[in-house]
């Protein structure tokens, strides 16, 4: 078995996932990334393969066969699992009183059930000290009007993360709020608005690397707090 560390990063073709994948590639990590869109995944794989070994698996994290393929691509050991893939839901976002329930089910399926399902598959491949990062949002804790679907799904993910940390003290299990970012999903949340003042995803990566590098206790973190602590 190779001594190189291996990471699975869902949603690794753009935004925060791609920025983190690039940073880990610079450090020599072997990567397994995915995306639903083939051309975006090919672009990310081409860039990252110049730095490290990359397995790019196209598919949807809500599909069981796809999750199995991600874990199989990682091989005998998984050192890091980053559940970054997510969906916003309808855009513009409706109030809960008018939220289409079929779409709400899909938001929960991708943002809550799929991360847990992937964790269940990955756990047997993770040694003590392994790291799980579930990307969350301030919408999980703040009652923003119109964010009931996405926000409540992320709140559920936060609680799953906390319980997993308690159940697996040998691992480091984190939910991480990266804050507002200049990403496609954030633009979809605010259609027609100028979001150019939001920071790029790359600015959140050093905070994520702090969690990956250090042995902080399992829990919920904000990248801005992690960045402030190391400055």
| Backbone angles phi and psi of 82, in degrees to 5 | -115, 110
Q: How far is residue 83's CA from residue 97's CA, in Å, rounded to a whole number?
A: 29
Nearest to 139 by CA among 211, 205, 196, 190: 190
Q: Which residues in 211-229 are b (16+ Cβ under 10 Å) and which e?
A: bbeeeeebebbbbeebbee
What pLDDT was estimated at residue 102? 97
pLDDT in tens, the chain (231 residues): 457 899 999 999 999 999 999 999 999 999 999 999 999 999 999 999 999 999 999 999 999 999 999 999 999 999 999 999 999 999 888 999 999 999 999 999 999 999 999 999 999 999 999 999 999 999 999 999 989 999 999 999 999 999 999 999 999 999 999 987 555 565 565 566 665 766 678 889 999 999 999 999 999 999 999 988 766
In 91-171 the beta strands, taken as DSSP E runs, fall at 131-135
What would the CATH number be for the domain defined by 6-230?
A: 3.40.50.720
Predicted model pTM: 0.93
Q: Which pLDDT score, from 0 to 100, does residue 226 have?
A: 92
pLDDT number for residue 206: 93
> Where do the structural domains in the chain lie, given as residue ranges?
6-230
Helix 148-167 crosses helix 114-122 at what angle (to 10 degrees)? Answer: 20
């Amino acid at each position: 078995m190779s001594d190189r560390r291996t990471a699975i990063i869902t949603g690794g073709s753009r935004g925060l996932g791609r920025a983190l994948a690039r940073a880990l590639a610079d450090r020599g990590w072997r990567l397994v990334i995915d995306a639903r869109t083939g051309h975006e995944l090919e672009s990310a794989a081409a860039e990252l393969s110049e730095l490290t070994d990359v397995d790019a698996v196209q598919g949807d994290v809500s599909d069981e066969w796809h999750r199995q393929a991600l874990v199989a691509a990682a091989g005998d050991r998984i050192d890091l699992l980053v559940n970054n893939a997510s969906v916003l839901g309808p855009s513009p976002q409706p109030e809960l009183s008018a939220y289409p329930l079929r779409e709400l089910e899909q938001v929960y399926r991708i943002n809550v059930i799929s991360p847990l399902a992937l964790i269940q598959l990955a756990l047997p491949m993770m040694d003590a000290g392994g790291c799980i990062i579930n990307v969350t949002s301030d919408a999980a804790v703040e009652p923003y009007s119109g964010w009931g679907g996405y926000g409540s799904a992320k709140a559920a993910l936060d609680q799953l993360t906390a319980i997993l940390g308690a159940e697996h003290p040998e691992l480091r299990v984190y939910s991480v709020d990266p804050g507002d970012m200049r990403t496609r999903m954030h633009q979809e949340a605010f259609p027609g608005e100028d979001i150019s003042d939001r920071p790029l995803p790359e600015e959140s990566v050093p905070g994520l690397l702090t969690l990956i590098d250090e042995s902080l206790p399992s829990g919920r973190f904000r990248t801005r707090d992690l960045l402030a602590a190391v400055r």
